[in-house]
Amino acid sequence: MKKLIILIVAIIIGIQPVLKADEGMWVPMFLEKLNIKDMQQKGFKLSAEDVYSVNKSSLKDAIIIFGGGCTGEIVSPEGLIFTNHHCGYGSIQKVSSIEHDYLTDGFWAMNKSEEIAIDGLTVKFLVRMDDVTAKMFEGISDTMTESERAEVLSKNEDAIIENATKDTHYSAIVENYFSGNEYYLVVYEVFEDIRLVGTPPESVGKYGADTDNWMWPRHTGDFSIFRVYMSPDGKPAKYAKENVPYKSKKFLSISIKETKPGDFVFIMGNPGSTERYMTSFGVEEAVNESNPAIVKIRTSRLDVMREFMENDAKVRLQYSSKFAGVANYWKYFQGQTKALKSLKVADVKRGIEADFQNWANADPNRKSKYGEVLPTFEQAYKSQAEFNLANWYFREAFFGGAELLRYASGFRKLGKLLSEDTVNQESVDKTIADLRHSKEAFFKNYYKPLDQKWFAESMSLYFWDIPQDQQPEILVENAKKYQGDFGKWADDVYRNTLFADEAGVDAFLDNPSAEKINNDPAIVIWTDFFNTYMHANKPKMQPVQDLMDKANRLYVAGLREQSPNKKFYPDANFTMRLTYGIVGGYSPADASEYKFYTTTEGILQKEDPTNPEFVVSAKLKELILAKDFGQYANSKGEMPVAFLSNNDITGGNSGSPIMDAKGNLIGLAFDGNWEAMSGDIAFDPALQRTINVDIRYVLFIIEKLGGAKNIIDELTIVK
């Protein structure tokens, strides 16, 4: 009785008693076997087949992969998509200009003819998943080396995909689950005509920006709206005027009912990557070396971008999406390191490993199979330490370095074609046409002075932080030639390359030659860095990676064998998953308690006209002060903005629908909380929370701020 009274009081005052999050990113096709009874006991009102079915429409048919790294959901019979603002950010930026700055001002199509096609944007619908583990393991033996094993797996994968997609318009991949112990075929239908329907201004969709990123309380209207189009005969097609809105197999209804602590909720989406089975050795490497290196490089890159963006409105628009992409995980890795330390994750992992080793040693057969797994990990990480930094600097400071180098590398194919004894003019002409087409997109969002400075900074970082015997010769030679003045080297490179400005590229493509390509300083630099990595450093890394792969596979297999009655879920791999839990707040620290939702009052409390991250438009402020919230206010007359739930998500889940027990959309997942940033490696049930934008705030912004009643009228709203 006492517990019931406490719960009732907590609901009344809007604070949820301490909750334990529901860990697990579950594969929808296995809900019937693993989860449905537990879900229904906790309040779920649907069946497993309502979620995933290949025989009838189900919720999986309303969930999409949006672009290359997010989730979206279909919310109308005509292919209307809701996703996050930060997921649509790059597409919105792509169609923006100084004259039509949709990032700053927002955009609302008042009818379908005003919707804007986004070149290159795709969405994927999951058609089905099949267990192909047995087929993938055909020809595999325990005596194989990892390289031999990988070769057989690759051949089997190609055959499986070819058989699955033959005579269809589908695409398919084979993904490994449980560190290579299981394999599943994942078949998709890919649509290429996607159009922008609506987006709030940045002051709403990115309110709080980097300051509030990964933080609670949050007041960000993180949503954007698109539409899928198809050919008149119902098939995926590239953009064409005659294309028609997608006829939805399934779409989500939207509930604007009150959300309360303890309400059952679930999220479906495509979480990108987790490492929940990482050992203590991996945690130590991340904390002490990998994460600090990433943060250091990205800090330098952000500083360079910020310097130019703050002084030029055009550059700000050109680099806004790039800046956001770099900044997001710059802050993430800082938070992850802090959480891994404060939550003593390495110690927790060591406890798990000790239990595993004792279990393995207790039986001769288990000891033979699993006894050397952890010593193998230890040795592999010790060996990896030799070149771990060089590996990360190649990714972040070179591959993520100067855009000129990556762009110039795209001309190497033309150089090879022009170098052949018998030149295939048809192939040359096609390649030139492709390069002319890509040129416009590249230079639209390119600013030479910014890139030149980042080249100098990234080369300096690489030279001073990486052992010289792991550096490309061209870096060592030019550091000596310019006496450590990388700015002077950058001056020479950008003055003499053909590829740093559009006019130079046009002139070259009018009169191309292999000699010009092969001798261009940008291509020479790219080639030497790439060859050093591929032919000098990577061969040293591969044996260690093989050890890691084998140890991971055996470790995960052993953990599952050690606990046969435990329900395991595989690490995230950007395929569809479901996570379920409840709405509720949390306690971030001693004597602190966070309520489960925020309101528009918090927007005004954070307002700072001198800080672009916290600007509130006059119209939004007027609506808030007048409490002009329409049907979207809660029972207290407040306008909810965001709310917390204890679902288990990660990157890739951005834009995922959070749904009530009946499968109605109540919000969009868009972030996690700072205190549990170690979640990709170790899930903390007391702290882990998902931050969701409340669907009522989304609808309020569409209707009241955007005036796009036509979008509201297209939705099915449950009151």
- Write the CA distances from 171 to 195, 236, 249, 328, 649, integer angstroms: 22, 12, 19, 30, 26
Residue 133 tokens read as 């583990």
Q: What is the pLDDT of residue 4?
A: 34
Residue 501 tokens read as 């400005």
Residue pair 435/549 in contact (Cβ under 8 Å)? The answer is: no
Q: What is the pLDDT of residue 497?
A: 97
Separation of alpha carbons 169 and 146, rounded Å: 34
DSSP 494-544: HHH-SSSSHHHHHHHHHS--HHHHHH-HHHHHHHHHHHIIIIIIHHHHHHH
CA geometry: angle at 64 spanning 60 and 70, to 5°?
A: 130
Residue 147 tokens read as 């390289």
Helix runs in 28-74, H state only = 31-34, 36-41, 48-51
Q: What is the pLDDT of residue 9?
A: 32
The ranges of the chain with pLDDT < 70 are 1-21
Q: What is the pLDDT of residue 17?
A: 35
Separation of alpha carbons 588 and 591, rounded Å: 9
Residues labelled catalytic: 86, 222, 654
Q: What is the pLDDT of residue 5?
A: 34
Q: What is the pLDDT of residue 20?
A: 45
Q: What is the pLDDT of residue 649?
A: 97
Q: What is the pLDDT of residue 590?
A: 85
Q: What is the pLDDT of residue 39?
A: 97
Q: What is the pTM of this model?
A: 0.93
Q: What is the pLDDT of residue 6?
A: 32
Q: What is the pLDDT of residue 162?
A: 97
Residue pair 197/85 in contact (Cβ under 8 Å)? The answer is: no
HEC secondary structure over 362-423: CCHHHHHHHCCHHHHHHHHHHHHCCCHHHHHHHHHHHHCCCHHHHHHHCCHHHHHHHHCCCC
For 271, counting Cβ atoms within 10 Å of its Cβ (0-12 exposed, 13-18 middle, 19+ buried), the class is buried
- Write the CA distances from 153 to 428, 535, 541, 558, integer angstroms: 35, 24, 21, 22
Residue pair 566/559 in contact (Cβ under 8 Å)? The answer is: no
Separation of alpha carbons 89 and 3, rounded Å: 46
Separation of alpha carbons 340 and 349, rounded Å: 11
Residues present in the chain in total: 719
* DSSP type of residue 259: P
Return the SS3 of 708.
Answer: coil
Other beta carbons less than 10 A from residue 481's beta carbon: 12
Separation of alpha carbons 302 and 322, rounded Å: 10
Contacts of 65 (CB under 8 A, 6+ apart): 71, 72, 123, 124, 188, 270, 574
CATH 2.40.10.120 domain span(s) along the chain: 2-122+192-272+572-718
Residue pair 655/83 in contact (Cβ under 8 Å)? The answer is: yes
Predicted confidence (pLDDT) per residue in 263-283, tens digit: 999 999 999 999 999 999 999
Separation of alpha carbons 396 and 300, rounded Å: 11
Cα dihedral sign for 442, 446, 448, 451? negative
Separation of alpha carbons 638 and 696, rounded Å: 11
Does domain 2-122+192-272+572-718 fall under CATH 2.40.10.120? My reply is yes
Residue 17 tokens read as 């008693």
Separation of alpha carbons 75 and 223, rounded Å: 13
Residue pair 74/62 in contact (Cβ under 8 Å)? The answer is: yes
Q: What is the pLDDT of residue 16?
A: 37
